Amino acid sequence: MKDLKKMDEAGSSELVSKEELKLLIESLDKPVLYKLLVDLLYKLNLKSMEKLRKGK
């Protein structure tokens, strides 16, 4: 959970391995982790959209 918070706070652009994602998803029985993952994925999507707009 600390790693997920760290990634969320830093707005990390580093790729997360499939194994790391699998471990995060398997631990989603906890609502806090689910919310953090959803927030992180939303932020990553926004960053991707911004990069696409700037690239055009």
Residue 9 lies in a domain: no
Residue 11 lies in a domain: no
- Tell me what the mean pLDDT of segment 36-56 comes to: 80
What backbone torsions phi and psi does residue 40 show, to the nearest 5 degrees? -65, -45
Domain count, the chain: 1
Residue 3 lies in a domain: no
Helix (H) or strand (E) run with residue 55 in it:
helix 31-55
Residue 29: is its pLDDT beyond 60?
A: yes
Residue 22: is its pLDDT beyond 60?
A: yes
Query: Residue 49: which domain range?
Result: 16-55
CB burial readout 18-47, b (16+ within 10 A) else e: eeeeeebeeeeeeeebeebbeebeeebeee
8 near 39, Cβ under 8 Å?
yes
Residue 10 lies in a domain: no
Residue 1 lies in a domain: no
d(CA 12, CA 14): 5
Residue 39 lies in a domain: yes
Residue 4 lies in a domain: no
pLDDT band at residue 19 using 50, 70 and 90 as cut-offs: confident
Overall pTM surpassing 0.75 (yes/no): no
